[in-house]
Amino acid sequence: MAIWLTKDSKVIVQGMTGSEGSKHTRRMLAAGTQIVGGVNPRKAGTSVDFDGTAVPVFGSVADAMKETGADVTVIFVPPAFTKDAVVEAIDAGIGLAVVITEGVPVHDTAAFWAHAVETGNKTRIIGPNCPGVASPGASNAGIIPADIAGSGRIGLVSKSGTLTYQLMYELRDIGFSTAVGIGGDPIIGTTHIDALAAFQDDPETEAIVMIGEIGGDAEERAAEFIKAHVTKPVVGYIAGFTAPPGKTMGHAGAIISGSSGTADAKKAALEAAGVKVGKTPSETARLMREVMSGR
């Protein structure tokens, strides 16, 4: 079993006819994802061939959903047009919108997130600036490499795309139910807490890897949630132990101020909630192996 993305998910790609959308649509198809259509108003009624698979192009998300039953959209459109693309997906009532695009203005993200809330939270937004969601052996929505790990019993939630890949690779022999890259922007649609709650409720997920980074208080809030609501073992990693205060490191949200948002403060909060925290990705993988060896 997996969270949010399964073998039965029907996926459309907004921006499928662009260079990035086309490249990753081909990779998602190769991973076994049910890609049922693309969206481009200027190319509606055409189709795109991906190594012998013809994928139809629709004029809108609503049209694609009506014709295919799609319940997931992956968004590969330029930052200037991302807000409109997400709002269109929300208005169509699609269940999951995975926003891959990097460089989306924070004001735009705030606007489409607020729109989702105002319309009843029918659409779960993941991202922006994220690698997507992968349920190995079932489906892949985004840019997470499909060949770095198989299906298994670990759930993973991460702000960082590259650290998602590294932990999946290091724990590839155990495997993953689902890996969720939530993105590292200051405002994101799905949080650590959302993923932790879903993994807690998933009977096929036995343990959870949570990857955070310096800046903000998302990891501290996740620690409070873990202490109160998560009974499954959680292993954590916080990127940025050597980051100097006041410097933005990597993601737009990765900035610390004084003692707030530091890796040490986040590590202490997680450990107080019973989370085992590694100081490197490899140590984090070792801690998870210890957890899984006793299960």
pLDDT, residue 294, reads 75
pLDDT, residue 253, reads 53
Q: Which of 107, 115, 229, 251 is catalytic?
A: 251
Lowest mean pLDDT among 26-35, 114-123, 251-260: 251-260
CA distances from 241 to 70, 183, 224, 255, 286 (A): 42, 19, 21, 12, 19
Single out the residue of 217, 198, 225 nearest to residue 257, CA to CA.
Answer: 217
Pairwise CA distance, residues 156 & 139, whole Å: 15
- Give percent above pLDDT 90 in the chain: 87
Question: Is the pLDDT confidence value at 150 over 90?
Answer: yes
CB 149 within 8 A of CB 2: no
Binding-site entries: 17-20, 43, 100-102, 165
What is the separation, in whole angstroms, between the first and last Cα of the chain?
A: 18
SS3 of residue 167 by DSSP: helix
pTM check: above 0.85 = yes
Q: Residue 177: which residues within 8 A CB-CB, separation 6 or more?
A: 1, 2, 3, 135, 151, 152, 153, 154, 155, 199, 202, 204, 205
Q: Could you count the other beta carbons within 10 Å of the beta carbon of residue 248?
A: 13
Tens digits of per-residue pLDDT, 93-110? 999 999 999 999 999 999
Tens digits of per-residue pLDDT, 226-253? 999 999 999 999 987 666 666 555 555 5
pLDDT, residue 229, reads 98
Question: Is the pLDDT confidence value at 258 over 60?
Answer: no
**Is there a catalytic annotation at residue 107?**
no
Binding-site entries for substrate: 165
Binding-site entries for CoA: 17-20, 43, 100-102
Pairwise CA distance, residues 55 & 24, whole Å: 13
- Give percent above pLDDT 70 in the chain: 93
pLDDT, residue 4, reads 98
